[in-house]
């Protein structure tokens, strides 16, 4: 995977992560436990997808 491709994917996942945080904040403000649980699952899923991208970015950076 090229560095630019990994970087674009990372930006996309960070935007999803921001959405997950906003959904979580909204759920807490409303007090809906099911929405809080769903938001936490979404947040964790976003983090799981981000983790494999980090070594690709580090490896590409070290090669330069």
The pLDDT value recorded for residue 60 is 59
The pLDDT value recorded for residue 61 is 59
What's the CA gap between 30 and 56, in Å, rounded?
A: 39
Strands (E), 1-64: none
Q: pTM for this one?
A: 0.78
Task: Break the chain into its structural domains and give their ranges.
Answer: 3-63
C-alpha dist (Å) from residue 55 to 3, 10, 36, 40, 42: 11, 12, 30, 24, 22
Mean pLDDT of 35-49: 96
Answer yes or no: are the C-beta atoms of 27 and 63 closer than 8 Å. no
Q: Is the pLDDT of residue 10 over 60?
A: yes
For tokens 């983090």, name the residue: 47
31 sits in which H/E element:
none
């Amino acid at each position: 995977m090229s560095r630019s491709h990994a970087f674009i994917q990372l930006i996309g996942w960070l935007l999803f992560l921001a959405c997950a945080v906003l959904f979580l904040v909204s759920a807490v403000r409303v007090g809906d436990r099911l929405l809080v649980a769903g938001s936490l699952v979404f947040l964790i899923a976003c983090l799981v997808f981000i983790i494999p991208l980090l070594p690709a970015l580090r490896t590409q950076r070290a090669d330069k």
